[in-house]
Structure 1
Amino acid sequence: MEFVVMVVDTPDQARILESVFKDIDNDRMHFRALAVGQAAVGWQHKGTRPTKIILAYDEPKTERERQWEREVVANLGYKGEHPTRETLWIKLK
């Protein structure tokens, strides 16, 4: 099971992606979207923590955003490095 999380700038972007992801979720792939600042404690799908994280948000500017990134994004998947974790930076605009 692949569990892919895309992190975007705003809750509106996350809602749009979530509505698209519903149509492409299947038994092998599950997609979720997360907005900067949103809590993601205990995120998992059928016992699988995120295996791929796609970072599609602007670089954090404030200390609060940097703290959120350290506390949330860094811990979305397994603590430390996990062999299936892949982090990609892409720019949406």
Structure 2
Amino acid sequence: MGERVPFSVISKANSFQYGPVCIDAACRGQGVFPRLFETMRLGMCARYPIGVTFINRLNPHSYHAHTKKLGMTVIDEFEFNDRPYYGLAFDMARSVLPNKVSP
């Protein structure tokens, strides 16, 4: 904790751990992931201004979904149990849906 991101400093008081999530293969590419994430974001944004998550660096599909579709920021890279991960953060005040105004 204490990592700087473009929008704040991460602490236990202002952040929560998001994930994991898995979208059924039959539903992928239909916008389910951003809509699911947006529903979670709306429920959590009043309490936490920052969300954090981690993705295995060997999972390019998840990396793409989180960084390109949701616009998350990579803030760290680390290893745990001999596995490499990206640490990511996101601004809970920002909608991930196009043309949406945040509360």
Calculate the TM-score normalised by the size of structure 1.
0.31
- Normalised by the size of structure 2, how large is the TM-score? 0.29
The structure that has the greater radius of gyration is: 2
Looking at secondary structure, tell me which structure has more strand per residue. 2
